[in-house]
Amino acid sequence: MSRGTAIYGARRLLLVLGTAFIVSSVTFLAIHALPGTAFTCEKNPAGCAHQNAVYGLNDPLFIQYRTFLWNLIHGDLGYSYINQGTQVVPLLLREAGASLLLGLFAIVVTIVVGLIIGVTAAVRQNTWLDYALSSFVVFGYSIPSFVLATFIIILTGIALPNWAGSIGWGAPEQIPIPAIALGLPYAAVVARLVRASMLDVIRQDYVRTAWAKGLSSRVIIVRHALRNALIPVITIGGPLVTAIITGSVVIETIFGIPGLGKEFVVSITTRDYGIVVGLYTFYAVLVGLANLGVDLLYPVLDPRIRYA
């Protein structure tokens, strides 16, 4: 990494921190602006008042915000209202761990499957193989994920009836199936982009030069064509990685995975303020880091790009 790249990276990291601060504040104010609270006061007015007092929810918003900021810079987001006695940060970290583990495997599925399908379809353009793969791709991203996940569970259940891997969470063999269910739709997106980009690149003059040099088709496709074809494709890497890691509510629910996905819905409906703020701040940091990662990847793939 050049000096310019390092400085650029450091500046971007500061920007991510700034963004995280702004996102947390906006989320804090927005969720407090929503009507209703975590505690229903109709059935148990005394308990409710007590709870509100404990969590400082009766204080003016300005005071609550000041406390929130003070705690935030100490890396503390208080307690979850719904999971009583549980601190928000450890809870989110635990759930993020599951999502991260699943997400990383799903990313591998996305990249490997997306690249293989995209490159093969481009190299065999307008053959039956291309049409078959392209149809598969359309199928892949148009089918709802709960249908796809259920389908995969049933298939593996029939093929391997005594295998614990087809559903559930906790054991290593339970990672691949949900990772495939989560990664395949994104693989379809990647495959489409890779195919289009490859079709453009394999008509370039330098690819013709590579053929004229007498290189093998494998070398030409991987070293000369794919490397150039990936430059536009990695642009979607940021949003893609974020989307996969934060998981899908559907996949986590179907497979019973204790990940972050469900919190995006549950924490808002239950007004679990700390979780909401922590979750969206985490999301913002993840988007920032993923995009930074992509931007740092550009100069690695394309020597013409330099950060001065």
* Site residues, other proteins (CB under 8 A): 203-206, 208-217, 219, 223-224, 227-228, 231, 301-304
With vertex at residue 293, the alpha carbon angle to CA 289 and CA 294, rounded to the nearest 5 degrees, is 120
CB of 217 to other proteins, least distance (A): 8
Cα(146)–Cα(152) distance, integer angstroms: 10
Residue closer to other proteins, measured from CB, 50 or 208: 208
For residues 199 and 125, the answer to whether their CB atoms sit within 8 Å is yes
117-129 burial, b at 16+ Cβ within 10 Å, e below that, comes to: bbbbbbbeeeeee
Q: How far is the CB of 200 from other proteins (least distance, A)?
A: 13
**58 vs 216 by CB, closer to other proteins:** 216
* Minimum gap (Å) between residue 196 Cβ and other proteins: 17
In this complex, which beta carbon is closest to other proteins, that of residue 74 or of residue 218? 218
Nearer to other proteins, 167 or 297 (CB): 297
- Minimum CB–partner distance for residue 214 and other proteins (Å): 4
Query: Read out DSSP for 217-239?
Result: HHHIIIIIIIHHHHHHHGGGHHH
Q: How far is CA 9 from CA 143, 238, 287, in A?
A: 38, 15, 15
Q: Which residues are CB-contacts of 112 (< 8 A; sequence separation ≥ 6)?
A: 187
Nearer to other proteins, 204 or 235 (CB): 204
Q: Which is nearer to other proteins, 66 or 208 (CB)?
A: 208
- What tokens does 68 get? 């929130």
